[in-house]
Amino acid sequence: MSTNRVHRIAVIPGDGIGKEVMPEGVRVLEAAAKKFGFKLAFDDFDFASCDYYEKHGRMMPEDWKEKIGTHDAIYFGAVGMPDRVPDHISLWGSLILFRREFDQYINLRPVRLMPGVPSPLANRKPGDIDFWVVRENTEGEYSAIGGKMFPGTDREVVVQETVMSRVGVDRVLKFAFELARSTPKKHLTSATKSNGIAITMPYWDERVKEMAKNYTDVKWNQFHIDILTAHFVMNPDRFNVVVASNLFGDILSDLGPACTGTIGIAPSGNINPERNFPSVFEPVHGSAPDIFGQGIANPIGQIWSGAMMLEHVGEHDAAAAIVKAIETVLSQDKLRTRDLKGPASTSECGKAVAAALG
Ligand code: GGG
């Protein structure tokens, strides 16, 4: 099948296992493009990595926005090599920079128990756990506002502010309520901690209440983050759309996938819904330096993120086919990677997903 649909994708493997799972993601995307009759023009970049930092003294070149700012999407692997570069430098110099400069204020993270993946929770089968975490992605607890006084003395003090703007809170809540409205369950849960964090979190709750007035067809509730994490483990089937501030969303979107067997399969999209800038698609997992170089990392999070990216650029059939191929592969013991008690290597698993596309 020939086509004139071409999507320009910036490919940034980053660090550690990002370099191992990215080729599998690209392999599956290429197979999907061939099958569904569109083209993907990939441009590879070595920045946003600790290797680049060690060579150049910074995570990104000065003209990084010109290099990747006009692509249809950015496909990212993982970042961080804490033994070589402090984590806050590598993260703020890459992912957090993308999120802020490209106004990717939604971090969308599906949590789904896939067929064939044993849940660490008792008596759960595929379909029982299937929800979205919508994480605020540009402000909240991830702020660089603060400072250190009297460094290196007994009087040392460090302060860091949480930032919540009305625009920032309302826009993520609106996205989450819209998403909840589009689902059969029409339910939303808000993560809070307004009993302890006495200024920003009551403000978050107030904005949720206000936003809910526009969505009378959506039922909603809220939990403090401590009991919410307990419910994630004990009652994950209760959730549909969970909306959370930046830090709470980050924690919940690691915990959710852990309840579905492994964080290795979890995908995410850092999304600018207005499409003024490219969105970034990356697995939820990090660079995993402890297993890097062994060829055993699970590539499914990267591959599924590729499916989210295709959905974003309008290739809905190809995106759905990749998710189906992932399900086919995960259902077979011999095709699963070590984190799922299987014998497959990273590339065996990736090749199997590409083959399952047919
Ligand atoms: N692929 C995601 C990745 O490398 N994550 C590293 C990390 O620590 N991320 C924290 C965050 O998403 O805020």
Which helix or strand (DSSP H or E) is residue 179 part of? helix 166-181
User: CA-to-CA distance for 109 and 349, rounded, in angstroms?
Assistant: 22
Atom of ligand 1 nearest to the CA of 282: 1
User: How far does residue 97's CA lie from ligand 1's centre (Å)?
Assistant: 12
In 3D space, the residue among 206, 205, 251, 203 whose CA is nearest the CA of residue 225 turns out to be 251
120 confidence band (pLDDT: 50, 70, 90): confident
Domain ranges of the chain: 1-104+273-358, 130-259
Mutate to test the pocket of ligand 1, among 17, 95, 141 (most ligand atoms within 8 A of CB): 95
Residue 322 confidence (pLDDT) above 90: yes
Pocket of ligand 1 (CB under 6 A): 78-80, 91, 95, 250, 282-283, 285-287
Asked if CATH classification 3.40.50.300 holds for the domain at 130-259, the reply, yes or no, is no
With a cut of 90, say whether residue 4 has pLDDT above it: no
- Cα 212 to ligand 1 centroid, rounded to whole Å: 30
Whether the per-residue pLDDT at 241 is higher than 90: the answer is yes
Q: What is the dihedral of CA 127, 239, 234, 78, to 10 degrees?
A: 80
pLDDT, tens digit (0-9, with 9 covering 90-100), for 290-320: 999 999 999 999 999 999 999 999 999 999 9
Return the best residue to mutate from 15, 49, 59, 79 for the ligand 1 pocket (most ligand atoms within 8 A of CB). 79
Gap between the Cα atoms of 288 and 339, Å rounded: 12
Backbone angles phi, psi at 189, to 5 degrees: -120, 135
Q: Using pLDDT thresholds of 50, 70 and 90, give the confidence band for residue 29.
A: very high
Which pLDDT band holds residue 2 (cuts at 50, 70, 90)? low
Q: What is the pTM of this model?
A: 0.96
In this structure, the residue with its CA closest to atom 4 of ligand 1 is 78
Buried b (16+ CB within 10 A) or exposed e, 342-353: bebbbebbbbbb
ipTM: 0.90
Distance 285 CA to ligand 1 centre (A): 7
The pLDDT-based confidence of 118 (bands split at 50, 70, 90) is confident
Span 16-34, mean pLDDT? 98
Q: Do domains 1-104+273-358 and 130-259 have the same CATH topology?
A: yes
Name the token pair of 306.
């590729």
In angstroms, what is the span from residue 352 Cα to ligand 1's centroid? 26
Return d(Cα 78, Cα 55) in angstroms, integer: 18
Q: Which tens digits make up the pLDDT trace of 124-152?
A: 888 899 999 999 999 999 999 999 999 99
1-104+273-358: CATH topology is Isopropylmalate Dehydrogenase (3.40.718)
